[in-house]
Chain A
C-alpha cells in the first residue's frame, strides 16, 4: 500500500508543479483527442503534423518580441496556424489542388519562416524549447489558456457535431441540403490550430500533435462508432498523461516525450489486442456463422 502510494499518488500529492502538469495535460486531452478522432477520420492525420510545424513562425515571432511568454507566443502561433489553415483550405476548396498538397506547400513555407526567425535570435536551446515545451513548467496563465481552449473546443464540437459528421461522411450530401459544408470545415481547422497552440507550451509544437493523434489512432481499433471513439480517445489520452508524468517523475525523463510514448504503447497494444485489431482478426475468423 505504501509502495503503491509512493508510486502513483505521492508525486502528485507532494508537488504543486506535478499537479499543474497533470491538470493541464488532462484538460488538453479532453479537447485535443476528439479533434484528433475527426482529423483521423477525415484522413488528415498528417495535416495535424503539418499544422504543428506551421505554428512555429508565429510562436517564434512572439518569442522574439516578448521572450518566453505564453500569451504572445500563443497568439502568434494562433495567427500563423490560422493563416496556413485558411490558405491551404481555401486553395483546396477553390482550385483543383487537393488539400494534402496545398497543406504541404503552406506549412513548409511557414516552417522555413519560423526556423529563419528563431535563428536570427541565436541559440538552439530556444528552438528546442519552442519545439518540445515542458509540461512541468505550466503556470497559471497557461492553465487558464488551456482551460479556455478546451471550453471553446468542446462547445464547438457540441454545436457543430452533426454538421461535422455529415461533412466527413457525405460532403456532397451536406452541400445539397445546407451551406454549412465549407464553414464547418474551416471551423474544424480552427479547432485543430487552437488545440495545437494550447498544447505547445506543455508539449512543444511537435509533440502536441502526438496527444491529438495517437489516442485517436488507438481508439480506432476498438469501436465502429464515432461517439464511443471520441470518449475512448479521451480516456486513452488521460491514461497516457498520467502514465507519462509518473514515468517522467520516477525516471527523470523529459515529460513531453514520456506522455507521447505512453500513448504510443497504448497504440501498439490496440493494434494487437483491439476488437478490430490484428490478433482478433487472425484468431476469431476461423469460425463463421450460417448467415
Chain B
C-alpha cells in the first residue's frame, strides 16, 4: 500500500501480560480522518500511545510512513500546571520539531504562535500564566500547540473533554481544515453523533477491533451491540494467547487493506461478519 501512513502488523499492546489492544492489523491511509470509538478500557488511548511510541508493542509492530511528523495530544496530559510558564511558552513547545532544542525562535515563529492561538479563539492570551486558564482554555491551548507542530499525523485523544459546545464546533472546523490539508488524523471520541456528522471513517474498538471502515457501516447497531458486550475487566487467569488461537480480532480489521499473516480459511470472515467488507 503506497499511501499508507500507518500500518499495524499483528499489533498487541498492553500492560503486564494483559493486552489492551489485541492483534490489530490494518492500515491508516494518508490523508484519512478516522474516529476511534469504544467503551472505557477498550484500548483507544493505548493504541494512541502505541502509535506515538511511548508504549512499546508486546507483539507485532506499528509501521509509520518514513519521515512522518507526529503530533500527539494525550488524554491525560502530564502537564504541570503549577509550572511558572505563560501560554506562549507552552504553545511554543510546538515549535520543537522545527527548531529543535537549540534553534532560535524567529519573529515569524512568534507570529505563528499568535496565529495558532487566534485559530483556537485564544487571541491575546499569550502572556497569561498557564495556572490561570480554565480546563477548556487549557485544552484549546494544547490544540494551538498541535497546530504549531505542523504534523503529518495528528493523534488526538479525547480532545473534546471539558470543552463547551461552541468550542467543540471550532475545534472540529480546525480538524476539518487539517483534513483538507491532506494530514492524517485519528481522534478518540465518545460522542457518536459527533462522529457520524464529522468523521468519514471510524475504528470501533473493544480490545479487538470490532469494525473499521466507513463510519456509517462501522457504527451500525449490531456492531455497537457487539462492542458493548465487551468485557472490560482483566482476568488474572485468562488463558495465554497462543499464536494460532487469536482467531477473532485481526480478521475484522480493515479488510480492504488486509495484511494477513495467518492461513485462515476463506469462510472465516463470515463467522465474524461485521468488517467493512462483510457488511
| Given known A175-B54, A176-B72, contact A162–B78 (CB-CB < 8 A) | no
- Is A166 in the interface zone, CB < 8 Å from B? yes
B72 and A224 within 8 A (CB): no
- Chain B residues contacting A170 (CB-CB under 8 Å) are 77-80, 90, 93
| Given known A160-B101, A177-B96, A225-B86, contact A168–B78 (CB-CB < 8 A) | no
- Chain A residues contacting B102 (CB-CB under 8 Å) are 159, 162
| Given known A166-B93, A166-B96, A169-B79, contact A176–B52 (CB-CB < 8 A) | yes
A226 to B85, CA, bound (A): 7
A180 and B79 within 8 A (CB): no
B84 and A224 within 8 A (CB): yes
- Is A229 in the interface zone, CB < 8 Å from B? yes
- Is A71 in the interface zone, CB < 8 Å from B? no
- Is B129 in the interface zone, CB < 8 Å from A? yes
- For chain A, the count of residues having a C-beta within 8 Å of the partner chain is 25
- Chain A residues contacting B74 (CB-CB under 8 Å) are 172, 176
Interchain CB contact (< 8 A) of B129 among A169, A176, A220, A224: A224
B84 and A180 within 8 A (CB): no
A180 to B74, CA, bound (A): 19
Interface string of A127-142 (1 = CB under 8 A from B): 0000000000000000
Would you give the shortest CB distance from A175 to chain B, in whole angstroms? 5
A169 to B145, CA, bound (A): 13
Interchain CB contact (< 8 A) of A176 among B70, B83, B86, B100: B70
Interface of A is mostly: helix
Interface string of B73-105 (1 = CB under 8 A from A): 010011110011110011001001100111000
A156-192 residues with Cβ-Cβ distance < 8 A to B are 159-160, 162-163, 165-166, 168-178, 180
A162 to B96, CA, bound (A): 9
- Chain A residues contacting B97 (CB-CB under 8 Å) are 177
B77 and A172 within 8 A (CB): yes
Interface string of B51-80 (1 = CB under 8 A from A): 011100000000000000011101001111
- Is A83 in the interface zone, CB < 8 Å from B? no
A171 and B78 within 8 A (CB): yes
Would you give the shortest CB distance from A217 to chain B, in whole angstroms? 13
- Is B149 in the interface zone, CB < 8 Å from A? yes
A177 to B102, CA, bound (A): 14
Interface string of A195-236 (1 = CB under 8 A from B): 000000000000000000000000010011110010000000
- For chain B, the count of residues having a C-beta within 8 Å of the partner chain is 26
A172 to B80, CA, bound (A): 11
A47 to B80, CA, bound (A): 18
| Given known A160-B101, A171-B78, A177-B96, contact A229–B72 (CB-CB < 8 A) | no
Would you give the shortest CB distance from B171 to chain A, in whole angstroms? 18
- Chain A residues contacting B86 (CB-CB under 8 Å) are 224-225
- Is A247 in the interface zone, CB < 8 Å from B? no
- Is A41 in the interface zone, CB < 8 Å from B? yes
- Chain B residues contacting A223 (CB-CB under 8 Å) are 84
Would you give the shortest CB distance from B53 to chain A, in whole angstroms? 8
- Chain B residues contacting A160 (CB-CB under 8 Å) are 101
A137 to B72, CA, bound (A): 54
Would you give the shortest CB distance from A12 to chain B, in whole angstroms? 35
Q: Which residue of A lies closest to B155 (CB)?
A: A176
Would you give the shortest CB distance from B123 to chain A, in whole angstroms? 16
B78 and A178 within 8 A (CB): no
Would you give the shortest CB distance from A212 to chain B, in whole angstroms? 18
A176 and B54 within 8 A (CB): yes
A173 to B79, CA, bound (A): 8
A225 to B101, CA, bound (A): 19
Interchain CB contact (< 8 A) of B83 among A41, A177, A178, A180: A41
> Which 8 A-B pairs give the minimum distances between C-beta atoms?
A172-B78, A176-B72, A170-B79, A177-B96, A169-B83, A224-B129, A224-B84, A163-B101
**Interface residues, chain A, with chain B CB atoms under 8 Å away:** 41, 159-160, 162-163, 165-166, 168-178, 180, 220, 223-226, 229
A-B contact pairs, 18 of them (CB 8 A): A41-B83, A162-B101, A162-B102, A169-B85, A169-B90, A170-B78, A170-B93, A171-B78, A172-B54, A172-B77, A172-B78, A172-B79, A173-B72, A176-B74, A177-B149, A224-B129, A225-B84, A225-B85
Known: A173-B72, A224-B84. 14 other contacts (CB 8 A): A41-B84, A160-B101, A166-B96, A169-B90, A170-B80, A170-B93, A172-B74, A172-B78, A178-B96, A220-B84, A225-B85, A225-B86, A226-B83, A226-B85
